[in-house]
Structure 1
Amino acid sequence: MSEEANSDSSTSESEISACSSSFNPFKAIYSAKTKIPVQNAPMYENLSQYESAQKGSNTIIPVGQRELVMKREREKEMKKQETQKLLEEKNKQRFAKFQVTAPVRKEKVSHNVLTRIQAMDGPLATLKECVDNRLRIKVITRNETGVRGVLHANLIAFDKQWNLALSDVLEIWKRKAPRKRKIPPGMSMPAAKGSAAAISPVPRITETPLGKGIWECTRHIPQLFVRGEHVVLVNIVER
């Protein structure tokens, strides 16, 4: 503190005054009596920037003028976009005469089951309505000798061969009583442990006697795929 007091006492006002001919920058920096002539004077990072600003160059912006920097950046961006727009317009006019002779390639549209379903008509259009509106249908199936049974289900998908993908299926069919039924040898054996039946349980069949040795069988299947060659008739149950 004594050294600073001594330095301040030894410093004259003429040495720390910026307008004096005997101005001493070193003492002005470390003196507590230094007064800035202009409080809001612009600040530059070095002498080169100060000299450029004195020559009237607008590219040098004083320190702390953030608004001017942002304004300059926006003007540069707008000028760049305008130049790009003019260049694109010039190129467009330049190559306009060549666009007429250039061959136009048609976009190739891939056709699959989903795209063909959109343009179907007739009975297949009715099946499409069942898929879109989630209508419940009744499907009569056949075997090698005649009608096998009936399926009540929701239609999920189909194709032109009448292959049907069904969900929430209730299957109903008729067969002979157990004593009159010919069971293949493999069907009388229980399923082995670790087989597919343990992974996905086999739907349980409910049998109801109708008389004269005929039983009505029903079972519920979550999902079922029916080949088109087994479909006899499709009817809409609920609209």
Structure 2
Amino acid sequence: MSDENNSDSSTSESEVSACSSKFNPLKALYSKKAAIPVKNAPLYENLNQYESAQKKENYIIPVGHKEEVENRELEKKNKKEEEQRLLEEKNRQRFARFQLPEPVRREIKTKNVLTRIGAMEGPLAVLKDCVDHRLRIKVITRNATGIRGVLHATLVAFDKQWNLALADVLEIWKRKGQKKRKIPPGLGTPVPKGTAAKMCSVPIVTETPLGGGVWECTRHIPQMMVRGEHVVIVNVVER
């Protein structure tokens, strides 16, 4: 302790003052009389940064000035975005005359039976109501020589040719007795029992005698497609 006191007593203010020509850095380092000339002086990490700051090279900010660093980075970012925007605008104007107008693609609408039903007018509009409200209809069909029979069914779909897709069909028709029937020779031998049933169940036909050698036949079919050329008239049974 005595050595330190002796060293402080032997040290003059001119030797520890940074502004004096007799400044001794070694004594200023260990002396308690040394005073900082500028308390708010900027702090640099090394001598190279200090020299660059004095020469205004790369604009080095001293340690502890966080806000200035953030502002400088924000300015750099905004400047870069502005340069990029100007470059894009310049390129757009440069190549604008070489660009052709893009063709407008029209939306292709799918057309089928279900989409055409919505635009039906006139008598076909009544069939559209039958499809929407699931009404039962009565369809009179014909064969090559006259009326064949009647179909009681629910209409599922149709088209402008009067082709009908039916569901839950009850078919009623008349034909002669078994002894008076004429089977064309071109039909050949019938399919053996059980062969067709493996692929699709054959509807059961119920025959009722009406007299005079005429029988009334009925059968129930889950689904049926009727061609328009076989349709005579269509009546709405349920409203």
The TM-score with structure 2 as length reference comes to 0.55
Q: Count residues in correspondence.
A: 159
User: Where in structure 2 are there 5+ consecutive unaligned residues?
Assistant: 1-61, 71-80, 94-100
Secondary structure at the aligned position of 2:170 is classed as: strand
Counterpart in 2 of 1:217?
A: 217
Confirm whether residue 169 of structure 1 aligns to residue 179 of structure 2: no
Equivalent-residue separation in structure 1 for 2:186 and 2:144 (angstroms): 21
Flag the 1:55–1:124 CA change in 2: closer, same or farther, 3 A. Answer: same
Secondary structure at the aligned position of 2:179 is classed as: helix
Counterpart in 2 of 1:37?
A: none
Counterpart in 1 of 2:66?
A: 56
- Tell me if structure 2 keeps the 8 A contact 1:191–1:197: no
Identity %: 64
Equivalent-residue separation in structure 2 for 1:164 and 1:139 (angstroms): 10
Letter in structure 1 aligned against 2:203: P
Counterpart in 2 of 1:125?
A: 125
- Tell me if structure 1 keeps the 8 A contact 2:203–2:219: yes
Equivalent-residue separation in structure 1 for 2:212 and 2:230 (angstroms): 27
- The CA deviation string for residues 54-111 of structure 1, in whole angstroms up to 9 with x for no partner, is 4426999xxxxxxxxxxxxxxxxxxxxxx9xxx8xxx9xx99xxxxxx7994734534
Confirm whether residue 203 of structure 1 aligns to residue 213 of structure 2: no
Confirm whether residue 107 of structure 1 aligns to residue 106 of structure 2: yes
Cα distance, 1:120 vs. partner?
A: 1.1
Secondary structure at the aligned position of 2:162 is classed as: coil
Letter in structure 2 aligned against 1:107: R
- Tell me if structure 1 keeps the 8 A contact 2:141–2:230: yes
Cα distance, 1:201 vs. partner?
A: 1.2
User: Where in structure 1 are there 5+ consecutive unaligned residues?
Assistant: 1-51, 61-82, 96-101
Confirm whether residue 137 of structure 1 aligns to residue 147 of structure 2: no
- Tell me if structure 1 keeps the 8 A contact 2:114–2:157: no
The TM-score with structure 1 as length reference comes to 0.55
RMSD value over aligned CA atoms?
Answer: 3.8
Flag the 1:107–1:220 CA change in 2: closer, same or farther, 3 A. Answer: same
Counterpart in 1 of 2:230?
A: 230
Letter in structure 1 aligned against 2:124: L
- Tell me if structure 2 keeps the 8 A contact 1:137–1:234: yes
Counterpart in 2 of 1:147?
A: 147
